[in-house]
Structure 1
């Protein structure tokens, strides 16, 4: 009995490892803080690139760099997301393995017990490495349950002839996807500049690592929006799936997980908040941001700008460095130039910033809609504030999420497949002052109430699962 009591008194430690992108780091760090508040020891392994600042997180979290060497394609704004993911997996494999092995030896000396590793769900190399070192593995997905399920199905859908490949007729893109309503063929996860074989190879690597090493899937989502997809995912993988989100809401309610502890690619321009306060009626401003990774070409950027100008709607627009393909890379801190005459045309009605405190912006009473790339974190933040969305997905899982926003939850509409200033102006006006926009705002308000009702019970279930490993 005494030996059992001593064993129970040993501290259980969770090791976490995220890919070094803002949309991956923030959910992982919020999860780390929440696990810490529930009594678990937490060690965050991280890359030197985009390394988190320990001072912005609870004192009980340990941060350990893996000291990787990244090739240029892993960080270049001009490389597509699949190229980045493959390069990061290759570059982080050995450094992660070495750091985790060293940590295991140190923890053994300290009489601590590493319960498991929570690894970014796109980092198949780290999942395999942890499993080979004998550490139980949980995969944290930073996309939706729907997007992850569709991703895993890509090889099967390709074999069935549904994946767009060279020679496919364009009209096939609008065919519905059996078993995956409300998706069409065009909504499947895709990456411009990568062919089907490359995408399927990456998916196979992720799927193989999950099935070989993972004992559970952790998702930043909640039952009210994805109950059906979560059930199907658990059945298809024969693994428990823990819907622990919305993580940013749960972490904000924790005194040891400050809301300001965000990993950001740029310092937010907080001057946009008093600007929103100044003379803007409730729900009158559209907030525009395509996130921290998505890029558009110069033609699309200019059409977005002049569409905003023609709409007559007040706007807050995030134009970050590197947001236009191949423009502004000589100075990594400089955003790309706006079209000539745009600032004069919109003076007094719009504000352009390099980066914004997005959660505070979306919570502001003057914000009436969010023009978004449908990254999953941005989508959740919009849902949780009851803000309807104008969707412009750019790559990967964003296509799936955009379709769910518009056709499953009914809280958004498309900017348009072709970004053209006249269509943009019409879509913005329709969302902000039209009848359809009013209906979407009401549905968004109800979805906000469901998100606010998330209790954290799934997080308790996750902790019990970790302690059982």
Structure 2
């Protein structure tokens, strides 16, 4: 959202960001051009200590879609009294904002931070659940198999996942338009399908981070020693490993990751986020003898400047959970991927990486150490990896073309600006 705000600010818009107290952004000094307004989120301090994880994420978002209605409406109403507002842009997960915008007679544009292909699969899920079978019916996307759909269902719907997805789709269709962090050439079939199904303007203006490459939207402090270490490694020799800012794993999975990296005999830069293994401060769960085994072949940090890492010539592959930001950033730098998706949009993204764009490999057996080692070799050492790298670099070229004058992303942004000004 901050990246999008910066893009629109460069087009002449004044930006006011309404945010919750939970995960309140510390960006006032970094973005003095924006106005920040805080609203109550309804959480107690003890709630916040246990909320930001995948297991309780559905509960948290569903809770806030109810608890934030009145504080958000009051804040937005005061803002409308102070100055004219062209429109509201809100993340599609905050579906409550559609009814608030309608009540205040304010156009709302939804921001969808996943792929366009993901929204098509999500649109089919309520019917899939209702009929009791895994089939994408009218929204059938050939790459997605029943096995892939089951991964999206990981954890079931007991925590309100289906409710959240269903209402999100309904209120997104009720919006005045959708902004996507993607570009048309990457997902053209999905772009055409969304245009027919949602029947509202669609603006694929991404990748967002390419507009402001020097700015960081990371919530965690970056360890820049990783760049110094990469500077001393050969070209395309390092596998970069990071599973994002939320994903967690048990000690057994963590140990298998470690031994998989060791068995590959390849260089690696591994992001181990504190708390990624529940109950662990940082590296206590590393198996005995691992650090001695890998020696200087490995570099482990708490967090890395990912965009800069992926752009580094030493990085030859990216082992990722396939969150959309990570997939896009890898495509933008022409880096092939090793995919370990968990749930939500990640299995969808992984299928496209492996089966559609053919720029990665899937770890079918989870964190099985031998398979991990083989997958790393396929990407870093084998001819197959070179072929994936060539296809990745071809997509990278398409990204760059889309952002040039007259390119699809640039044109979509100009269309978005004109659309907002028309309200």
TM-score bin, normalised by smaller chain? over 0.9
Cα distance between partner residues in 2 of 1:357 and 1:453 = 25
1:41 aligned counterpart, secondary structure: coil
Give the structure 2 partner of residue 194 of structure 1.
156
Q: Is the 8 A contact 2:240 2:319 kept in 1?
A: yes
The one of 11, 16, 19 aligned to 1:43: 16
Give the structure 2 partner of residue 306 of structure 1.
259
In the TM superposition, what whole-angstrom CA distance separates every residue of 1:418-452 from its partner, at most 9, and x where no partner exists?
32111111111111111211110110010100011
2:109 aligned counterpart, secondary structure: strand
The one of 68, 77, 101 aligned to 1:130: 101
Cα distance between partner residues in 2 of 1:196 and 1:436 = 41
- Offset of 1:238 from its aligned partner? 0.8
User: Any gaps of 5 or more consecutive residues in structure 2?
Assistant: 404-409
1:64 aligned counterpart, secondary structure: strand
The one of 56, 68, 71 aligned to 1:95: 71
Determine whether 1:387 maps to 2:335: yes
How large is the RMSD of aligned CA atoms in angstroms? 2.1
Cα distance between partner residues in 2 of 1:88 and 1:454 = 36
* Paired residues for 1:71-220 under 5 Å: 72=47, 75-77=51-53, 79-107=55-83, 113-163=84-134, 179-188=140-149, 190-195=152-157, 198-212=160-174, 214-220=175-181
Give the structure 2 partner of residue 277 of structure 1.
231
User: Any gaps of 5 or more consecutive residues in structure 1?
Assistant: 1-27, 108-112, 165-174, 253-258
Cα distance between partner residues in 2 of 1:40 and 1:149 = 31
Q: Is the 8 A contact 2:331 2:395 kept in 1?
A: yes
Give the structure 1 partner of residue 345 of structure 2.
397
Give the structure 2 partner of residue 410 of structure 1.
358
The one of 432, 436, 439 aligned to 2:384: 436
Cα distance between partner residues in 2 of 1:30 and 1:424 = 34
Give the structure 1 partner of residue 182 of structure 2.
221
- Offset of 1:467 from its aligned partner? 0.9
Change beyond 3 A, Cα 1:185–1:56? farther
Q: Is the 8 A contact 1:116 1:136 kept in 2?
A: yes
- Offset of 1:196 from its aligned partner? 7.2
Determine whether 1:315 maps to 2:263: no
User: What TM-score does the superposition give when structure 1 sets the normalisation length?
Assistant: 0.83
Give the structure 2 partner of residue 110 of structure 1.
none
Cα distance between partner residues in 2 of 1:403 and 1:224 = 17
Cα distance between partner residues in 1 of 2:349 and 2:235 = 27
Cα distance between partner residues in 2 of 1:385 and 1:432 = 16
User: What TM-score does the superposition give when structure 2 sets the normalisation length?
Assistant: 0.92
Cα distance between partner residues in 1 of 2:186 and 2:320 = 19
Cα distance between partner residues in 2 of 1:56 and 1:125 = 30
